[in-house]
Structure 1
Amino acid sequence: MQTQSSFKTTGKGTLFLVPTPIGNLGDMTYRAIDTLKSVALIAAEDTRNTQKLLNHFEIETKQISFHEHNTQQRIETLIEKLEAGDDIAQVSDAGMPSISDPGHELVKACIIADIAVVPLPGANAGITALIASGITPQPFTFYGFLPRKGKELNESVTLLAQKPETIIFYEAPHRLKKTLQVLMTAFGPERQVTLGRELTKKFEEFIRGSLKEVLAWTSATELRGEFVIIVAGNPTPIMKISEKTVAALPLPEQVEAQIQQGANPNVAIKTVAKANGLKKQVVYNAYHELTE
């Protein structure tokens, strides 16, 4: 167990997770600007992209690249600086850090090193699209990007199709049509969906309808901009999912499948551990994204 007092003086630096606009620069908060000006270093997903933001707000803080291809080598450097007392801000290209972007590994490393991690509220594409979608906003599941491989993709949507809550996906324009086809096959053509694109920008657009209708729309439209896909939950989920389908899923999703079928989390973890010949702690750590 660990307790963090975010603003207590410890002699160590603080990792600030700073959201950036998802399109409209006017959505940058005063606190985010002040934080980026005050820290010793900004760890940025793409320093070229972030530099444009810094220039706009006249922020002169130095940057260091921190992206999916150099995460491990950078973490050691960043932890050393934080241990020495430097405050660091971590930003992604758009929106909240760690949400479908680098950052989670650095957060975990800071927690292990007993370094304070302070999140700032701000723009998020998924929530922005959700509240304007017209689809029930809660409860919801944020999924992000679906797997790319066919087998993993089909297994994931088969499980997700049974969820009664609204689901939020992200998708690139060149993959949108294929993803909607896969979703329609698993969820059914009449399941309601809302697409949000160019959110907060001049050409912001929402497309609402059934999966069948929205898929037809993609064939008659030039697809540009990153998309958020909001899919309505299943009002009549089939609780029983085949054991073969469940066994093929990653451990966390196997646990989720058991919960979906009515088991409480502890029983679900125990069941999955037994089915896979693993210790309960291994499955517990995988489900809760804990390192041993």
Structure 2
Amino acid sequence: MNSIDRINKLEDDFMEIDYLVYSAHKTGTQSLVETLQHNDLKSLHLHQLQNLGLKKGDFQKYVEEYVKKNNRKLKILTVFREPMERQISSFFEAYGSEPIRLDKVKDPTETIIYKYSFKQLQRKFHIELATKTLMGYRESIHEICQELGISLRDFKSIDETKKLFLCETESITLHLIEFHELIRNFESILTIITKVPITSKVANMADAKWYKDVYHDFKMSLALPQKLISAIYNDKRGIIDFIYPAGFESKESQAMGKYGKKSKSTFRSYWDYSHLIWIQMKHKITKRMKNIIQDNLR
């Protein structure tokens, strides 16, 4: 099957949208789509081309077909989120939500987020980061630029305080948004982009998940090798330098301080160290109690 055949197989919905949310895993894509739809703006989302059954080189042809059919540019939204935060969120989505949504398990107790110890979860996370096999490891903005033959130099800032950027060609308008600014200014950013008053409809947030306590404690106690964190950030150096005024070194250093391995002496206080030990003990006790309850129910 050639690229034209693959484009023709796309659902009609993708030729009729007002906005395409083409953004990496766990960057607010569902909230963006829900909000746009809620405000009568047709939209769909994808994380990477394979979500549409498309291959490398197909996206430009899709854009051309869209413009030909609609006689207007394709409007694209993409969001960048700090790497470590996004990878942690992706990990929990992949093993805490996806198995349930896809009916691979009957309930949360069958997921590895529920069954694994903290040590097991962190080891799996470490391995998938090191091998770059974690779901959603790649950045959509890199794929978009490659497919459309553009670069970060083609973007201009349209609101420096909100870290909002625009790239415009003959066939697309592409808005690049920083994740935390989007969360803080959701309605105002979308109002700037769409030029119509927007009311938000937020979806798929971590605080609403069944695993929210484990997710929080996992983040608090995570300790990865500094070299691994550096490698992850170096993969995304260009986009980090472009978006954040403080630059790559500052963001890398912050991530290492937050998620890198620490000796007892590096904790800011005895309370910080004691709190980490308590998180680990609480997780072990919780797992033990769950096992006792399940044994009693059998």
TM-score normalized by the length of structure 1: 0.26
* Structure (1 or 2) with the greater strand fraction: 1
The structure, 1 or 2, with the larger RCO (C-alpha pairs under 8 Å, 6+ apart) is 2
* Structure (1 or 2) with the greater helix fraction: 2
